Amino acid sequence: MAVYTLHVPTEDMPGDPATLGEAVVLKDGFAWGAFIFQVLWCLYHRLWLVALALAIITGGVSAGLQWFGLPSFAVTVISLLIAAFFALEANGLRRRALERRGFKAAGVVVADSYSDAEARAFSAWLGARQMGAASPRPSTPTSAYDPPPQHAAAATPGAQPVLGLFPEQEGPR
């Protein structure tokens, strides 16, 4: 099972069905398209500066290694390592680009496939409308990116249970 994140425009309210037309669901992890078609993948996802930097880095590293006289096998292995590193970070770069374009992370889902993740994320987004009707802010975070709510009892030392070997929660220093 893979982890997917839902990204929606910042100004939209939870539960708004019109938002889902612009929503983006991204898989967390290795991007095979980015591994095989690095620069083309960047251009397709409108990551212009990343594509330029990647072309300069891979071209420069390959030319530099050949200039030092390394065998072509070593240059190929190092190029594949660069491609693998980029493929691991590619969706993270897309997330940051979406944040710069005015999108926010609205939820995290775990699913077997992209279509399952999309269905779960969208149903959770639409379910936020029913939760929002009962209270203006739900007591539990709506996504992994939302901070937990602060309760009055949590402000006093010793009010929350402590994990570990120490009997009391440590106060401010």
pLDDT digits (tens, 9 = 90+) for 82-100: 999 999 999 999 999 999 9
Supply 99's token pair. 């944040």
pTM of full prediction above 0.85: no
Q: Find, among 79, 23, 25, 76, the residue nearest to 55 by Cα.
A: 79
Q: What pLDDT was estimated at residue 135?
A: 46
| Angle, alpha carbons 121-98-85 (nearest 5°) | 95
Mean pLDDT of the chain: 82
Mean pLDDT, residues 12-40 taken together = 89
Angstrom distance (rounded) from CA 127 to CA 14? 8
CB 104 within 8 A of CB 14: no
Per residue in 63-85, pLDDT (tens digit) is 999 899 989 899 999 999 999 99
CB 92 within 8 A of CB 99: no
Amino acid (1-letter code) at residue 93: L
